[in-house]
């Protein structure tokens, strides 16, 4: 099967429709949640059958579908941030202990609107590693050590 998307949720839906499946795909688990007018879909690929069906590696894939994003209010924007933060925190808590360091890599091209999210997110991350190293008394000792990096665009003219 040929896929035009790399989103696990879309691959799952296309595969189920193409194969006329009523039940879940073998090796795939799916959970859907609605928060206000946002749809959160968590697709978990659990084995090689799921990998083969969706052409994605074993793992957890989360999609947050936000309707009418072009005209959101500040209140709605805060709700989106809250939902996204909750999902990201759950992933971090599952894989990283509370006292372990984190490196956030903001992939994308700051100069290309559709690809700029990663670079823009890093601009709003509270970087704490240097504070924990050089000014440990200036920060709560339970604060996680966070570093971040954003690669520059390869086509950017530095001259």
pLDDT for 54-113, tens place per residue?
999 999 999 999 888 888 899 998 999 899 989 988 998 889 998 899 999 988 877 777
| Average pLDDT rounded to a whole number, residues 140-157 | 77
- Global pTM exceeds 0.75: no
Sheet containing strand 38-45, edge to edge, reads 28-35, 38-45, 59-66
pLDDT at 154 exceeding the cut of 50: no
Return the number of other C-beta atoms located less than 10 Å from residue 108's C-beta: 19
Confidence at residue 7, expressed as pLDDT on a 0 to 100 scale: 86
Residues 20 and 73 in one domain: yes
pLDDT at 159 exceeding the cut of 50: no
Give the model confidence (pLDDT) of 27-58 as tens digits: 999 999 999 989 999 999 999 999 999 999 99
Q: Greater confidence, 119 or 126?
A: 126
Rounded to 5°, the CA angle 99-129-89 comes to 50
What is the rounded distance in angstroms from the CA atom of residue 68 to the CA atom of residue 20? 31
Residues 68 and 16 in one domain: yes
pLDDT at 122 exceeding the cut of 90: no
Contact 51, 45 (CB under 8 A): yes
Closest CA to 54 of 12, 18, 13: 12
Confidence at residue 155, expressed as pLDDT on a 0 to 100 scale: 46
pLDDT at 121 exceeding the cut of 60: yes
What is the rounded distance in angstroms from the CA atom of residue 71 to the CA atom of residue 75? 12
- Going from the C-alpha of 23 to that of each of 8, 107, 126, the distances in angstroms are 17, 36, 43
Residues 73 and 140 in one domain: no
DSSP assignment letter at 123 = T
Confidence at residue 4, expressed as pLDDT on a 0 to 100 scale: 61
Q: Does residue 91 sit within a domain?
A: no
Last residue of a domain, one of 55, 81, 107: 81
Residues 11 and 76 in one domain: yes
pLDDT at 156 exceeding the cut of 80: no
Q: Greater confidence, 120 or 128?
A: 128
Contact 56, 11 (CB under 8 A): yes
Q: Does residue 33 sit within a domain?
A: yes
Confidence at residue 2, expressed as pLDDT on a 0 to 100 scale: 55
Residues 108 and 48 in one domain: no
What is the number of domains present in the chain? 2
Rg of the chain's alpha carbons, rounded to an integer?
19
Confidence at residue 5, expressed as pLDDT on a 0 to 100 scale: 63
């Amino acid at each position: 099967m040929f896929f035009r998307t790399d989103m696990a949720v879309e691959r799952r839906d296309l595969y189920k429709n193409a194969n006329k499946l009523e039940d879940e795909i073998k090796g795939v688990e799916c959970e859907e949640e609605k928060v206000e007018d946002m749809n959160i879909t968590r697709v978990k690929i659990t084995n090689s059958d799921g990998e083969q069906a969706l052409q994605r590696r074993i793992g957890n894939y989360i999609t947050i579908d936000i309707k009418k994003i072009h005209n959101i209010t500040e209140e709605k924007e805060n709700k989106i941030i809250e939902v996204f933060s909750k999902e990201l925190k759950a992933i971090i808590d599952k894989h990283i202990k509370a006292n372990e360091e984190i490196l956030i890599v903001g992939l994308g091209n700051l100069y290309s609107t559709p690809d700029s999210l990663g670079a823009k997110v890093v601009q709003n991350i509270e970087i704490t590693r240097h504070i924990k190293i050089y000014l440990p008394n200036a920060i709560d000792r339970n604060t996680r050590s966070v570093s971040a990096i954003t690669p520059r665009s390869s086509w950017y003219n530095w001259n």
